[in-house]
């Protein structure tokens, strides 16, 4: 077998291992972050972790957040507010956290989250409130 | 104090990433038939490192600014951004290619695999906008190792 094919196999294994590592890391961070609590609010809101060096935040995430309309978005500089970022296990930018009105984190998105995805998560947060009020 | 945003032409970055992908692929596939083409890998390492420290010497970006943009082949895409994370990512790519070049003679498979990984990451950035070097820059900044 030529060195090129061996190299292709090695690179493929590294990429697969990295993807698997990323999945495990995101899942662990998400589980840990979901225990976190923020300030209560009348409506669900979004904690948006960003930073000046984050290009995807400006080119993709912010236009997606702008599509959400009247939703409260708390923009957090992950470098400046390091403790808050650490408590939500922010290891990549952007990170968005959908917070329930009781201040509990319901969904954590590491990396870009589309407007559609966030709308779905916000709807879930609203229905969670509705369910708790009914109960 | 936070660094000020400036205008970064993202088309120049895309051309740079495309240049990396094409060069590595030419070296990788071409090397099957004509081994001296593997010398494109150390050459690319020099181009990337030189471009990181002397922006005027960034070959692919200059190709964009002097040829592709004036000819209207690639449209400019100015974005309010910081150039540092992108330069850091490019420098990191250059360093990895230096290591890949050093490995090409004693351990060709490892050298080629490393060069291929640099091309994969450049492609991911080009196609999906995910910049691993920028994320490493953020992590270093978060730990106070660099001013992010």
Task: Note the pLDDT tens digit of each residue in B59-93.
Answer: 999 999 999 999 999 999 988 888 889 999 999 99
| Per-residue confidence (pLDDT) for residue B52, from 0 to 100 | 94
| Per-residue confidence (pLDDT) for residue B80, from 0 to 100 | 80
d(CA A122, CA A125): 5
Structure tokens at B24: 């590595």
CA distances (Å), B110 to each of A5, A25, B96, in order? 11, 26, 12
Domains of chain A plus CATH, in order, are: 3-134 (3.40.30.10)
Partner residue facing B5 (CB), from A2, A52, A112: A52
The answer to whether A111 contacts chain B (CB < 8 Å) is yes
| Per-residue confidence (pLDDT) for residue A129, from 0 to 100 | 61
Residue A71 has pLDDT above 70, yes or no: yes
Q: Does residue B1 belong to any structural domain of this protein?
A: no
Sequential DSSP letters for B70-133: TTTSS---EEEE-HHHHHHHHHHHHHHHHHHHHHHTT-HHHHHHHHHHHHHHHHHHHHH---HH
| Per-residue confidence (pLDDT) for residue A104, from 0 to 100 | 87
Chain A nearest-CA residue for B116? A11
Q: Considering its fold, how many domains does chain B have in total?
A: 1
Domain that holds residue B26: 6-142
Q: Does residue B135 belong to any structural domain of this protein?
A: yes
Measure A20 CA to nearest chain B CA, in Å: 16
Structure tokens at B64: 């964009």
Percent of chain B with pLDDT over 70: 95
| Per-residue confidence (pLDDT) for residue B1, from 0 to 100 | 43
Given a contact cutoff of 8 angstroms between Cβ atoms, the answer to whether A45 and A72 are in contact is yes
**Three-class SS state of A49:** strand
Partner residue facing A3 (CB), from B3, B112, B138: B112
**pLDDT tens by residue, B96-127:** 999 999 999 999 999 999 999 999 999 999 99
| Per-residue confidence (pLDDT) for residue A34, from 0 to 100 | 80
CA distances (Å), B133 to each of A5, A37, B105, B125, in order? 26, 31, 27, 10
Partner residue facing A93 (CB), from B31, B80, B138: B138
Residue A53 has pLDDT above 80, yes or no: no
> In chain A, count of helices (H) and strands (E)?
5, 4
**pLDDT tens by residue, A88-104:** 989 889 999 999 988 88
Contact criterion met (CB < 8 Å) for A55 and B32 = no
What's the predicted TM-score (pTM) here?
0.79
Q: Does residue B147 belong to any structural domain of this protein?
A: no
Chain B nearest-CA residue for A83? B142
Q: Does residue B82 belong to any structural domain of this protein?
A: yes
More confident residue, A1 or B46: B46
Chain A nearest-CA residue for B27? A4
Q: ipTM score of the complex?
A: 0.77
Average pLDDT value over all residues in chain B: 91
Q: Does residue B17 belong to any structural domain of this protein?
A: yes
Residue A39 φ then ψ, to 5°? -75, 140
Measure A42 CA to nearest chain B CA, in Å: 32
- E strands, A1-135, are 45-50, 72-77, 95-99, 105-110
Q: Does residue B148 belong to any structural domain of this protein?
A: no
d(CA B91, CA B64): 19
């Amino acid at each position: 077998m030529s060195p090129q094919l061996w190299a292709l196999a090695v690179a493929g294994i590294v990429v697969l291992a990295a993807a698997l590592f990323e999945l495990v890391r995101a899942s662990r961070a998400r589980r840990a972050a979901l225990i976190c609590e923020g300030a209560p609010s009348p409506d669900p809101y979004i904690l948006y972790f960003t930073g000046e060096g984050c290009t995807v935040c400006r080119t993709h995430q912010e236009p997606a957040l702008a599509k959400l309309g009247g939703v409260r978005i708390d923009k957090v500089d992950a470098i400046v507010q390091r403790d808050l970022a650490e408590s939500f296990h922010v290891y990549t930018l952007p990170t968005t956290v959908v917070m329930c009105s009781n201040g509990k984190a319901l969904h954590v998105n590491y990396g870009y989250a589309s407007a559609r995805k966030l709308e779905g998560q916000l709807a879930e947060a609203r229905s969670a409130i509705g369910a708790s009020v009914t109960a | 104090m936070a660094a000020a945003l400036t205008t970064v032409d993202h088309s120049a970055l895309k051309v740079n990433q495309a240049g990396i992908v094409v060069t590595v692929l030419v070296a990788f596939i071409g090397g099957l038939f004509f081994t001296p083409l593997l010398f494109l890998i150390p050459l690319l390492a020099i181009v990337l490192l030189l471009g990181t420290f002397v922006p005027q010497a960034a070959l692919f970006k200059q190709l964009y600014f002097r040829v592709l943009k004036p000819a209207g082949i690639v449209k400019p895409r100015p974005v309010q951004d910081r150039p540092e994370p992108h330069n850091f990512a490019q420098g990191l790519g250059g360093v990895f290619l230096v290591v890949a070049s050093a490995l090409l003679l004693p351990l060709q498979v490892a050298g080629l695999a490393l060069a291929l990984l640099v091309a994969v990451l450049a492609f991911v950035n080009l196609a999906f906008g995910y910049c691993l070097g920028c994320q490493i820059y953020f992590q270093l900044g978060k730990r106070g190792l660099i001013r992010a």
